[in-house]
A and B are shown apart, each in its own frame.
Chain A
Amino acid sequence: MLAFATKRFGLALLVAVTVSALAFLLLRASGDVAIALAGEGARAEDIESIRRIYGLDRPLLVQYFDWLWKMAHGDFGQSLYFKTEVWPLVMEKLPTTMLLAVFSLTFALAVSIPLGILAAVYPNSWIDRLCLALAVVGQAMPNFFFALILIMVLAVSLHWLPVSGSESWAHFVMPTITLGYYIAPVFMRLVRAGMIEVLASDYVRTARAKGLSQTSIILKHALRNALVPIVALSAVQLGLLLGGSVVIETIFALDGAGFLAYQSITHKDLPVTQALLTLLSILYVGLILIADIANAWLDPRIRVG
Chain B
Amino acid sequence: MTESYAPPLLEVVGPTSGALLRRRIFTHKGLLIGSTLLTIVLLLALLAPLIAPHDPYAQDLTQRMIPPLWSEKGTWAHVLGTDNLGRDYLSRVIYGARISLLIGFAVMVISGLIGAALGLAAGYFGGRTDMVVTFFITIRLAMPVILVALAVVAMVGGSLWVVVLVLGLLKWDRFAVVMRAATQQVRSLDYVTAAAATGASTPRIIVGEVLPNVLPQLIVVASVEAASAILLEAALSFLGLGVQPPLPSWGLMIAEAKAYMFFSFWLIAIPGTALALLVLAINMVGDGIRDVSAPSGRG
Contact = CB atoms under 8 A, between A and B. Distances in A.
Contacts of A152: 261-262, 265
A162 interface: no
B138 interface: yes
Contacts of B262: 152, 156
A139 B280 CA distance: 8
B283 A31 contact: no
Nearest to A32: B155
A247 B239 contact: yes
Interface in B144-173: 144-148, 150-152, 154-156
A126 interface: no
Contact of B144 (A16, A193, A268, A284): A284
Contacts of A30: 151-152, 155-156
Contact of A266 (B138, B154, B283): B154
B143 A23 contact: yes
Nearest to B281: A140
Contacts of A243: 144-147
A247 B299 CA distance: 32
Interface in B263-291: 265, 268-269, 272, 275-277, 279-280, 283-284
Contacts of A285: 142
A145 B276 contact: yes
A90 to B, nearest CB: 13
B241 A140 contact: no
Interface residues on A, range: 35 or more
B283 A140 contact: yes
Contacts of B133: none
Contact of B155 (A31, A192, A261): A31
A135 B292 CA distance: 20
Given A19-B142, A148-B268, A265 B280 contact: no
Given A142-B276, A148-B272, A243-B147, A19 B139 contact: yes
Nearest to A266: B154
Interface residues of B, number: 42
Interface stretch (B82-90, B214-222, B230-238): B230-238
Contacts of B148: 26, 277
B103 interface: no
Contacts of A184: none
B150 A142 contact: no
A141 B258 CA distance: 17
Given A26-B148, A193-B299, A265-B241, A140 B143 contact: no
Contacts of A196: 299
Contact of B147 (A141, A142, A246): A246
A165 to B, nearest CB: 17
A91 interface: no
Given A26-B152, A148-B258, A196-B299, A140 B144 contact: no
A224 to B, nearest CB: 20
B137 to A, nearest CB: 10
A18 interface: yes
Contacts of B227: 139-140
A18 B136 CA distance: 10
Given A142-B235, A144-B235, A148-B254, A262 B141 contact: no
B240 interface: yes
B251 interface: yes
B235 A27 contact: no
Interface string A66-101: 000000000000000000000000000000000000
B26 interface: no
B240 A266 contact: yes
Nearest to B136: A18
Interface in A250-305: 250, 261-262, 265-266, 268, 273, 276-277, 280-282, 284-285, 288
Contacts of A276: 147
B135 interface: yes
Contacts of A136: 280, 283-284
B93 to A, nearest CB: 14
Contacts of A268: 154-155
Contact of A246 (B144, B265, B299): B144
Please provide the 4 A-B residue pairs with the shortest distance between their CB atoms, ordered closest to farther.
A243-B144, A30-B155, A145-B272, A31-B155
30 contacts: A14-B135, A19-B143, A27-B151, A27-B155, A30-B152, A140-B279, A140-B280, A141-B276, A141-B279, A142-B238, A144-B235, A145-B268, A145-B272, A145-B275, A148-B254, A148-B268, A148-B272, A149-B269, A193-B299, A239-B141, A239-B144, A243-B144, A243-B145, A243-B146, A246-B150, A262-B239, A266-B240, A266-B241, A280-B147, A284-B144
Interface of B: 135, 138-139, 141-148, 150-152, 154-156, 227, 231, 234-235, 238-241, 251, 254, 258, 261-262, 265, 268-269, 272, 275-277, 279-280, 283-284, 299
